[in-house]
Amino acid sequence: MRRFEYRVMPLPLSDALSMKQFKKVSEELEETLNALGADGWELVQRTDGVLFFKREIE
């Protein structure tokens, strides 16, 4: 039987960000998402500013 573990991560975005702040936050989020992907996490859903990930447990 396949088993999974899950992770929930809030999106660190605000409507009041300047373009410079948005670029910095976007780059940090991209780094985080790439690290999660490298660790085997798969994005399964985005809802109201929250990201849901899963990865298979061996």
Query: What are the backbone angles phi and psi of residue 12, rounded to the nearest 5°?
Result: -85, 55
Burial class (CB in 10 A: 0-12, 13-18, 19+), 55: middle
pLDDT of residue 32: 93
Domain boundaries, the chain: 3-57
pLDDT of residue 16: 67
pTM of the complete model beyond 0.85: no
Q: What CA–CA distance (Å, rounded) separates 14 from 28? A: 14
- pLDDT tens digits for 6-51? 999 988 766 667 888 888 888 988 999 999 999 999 999 998 889 9
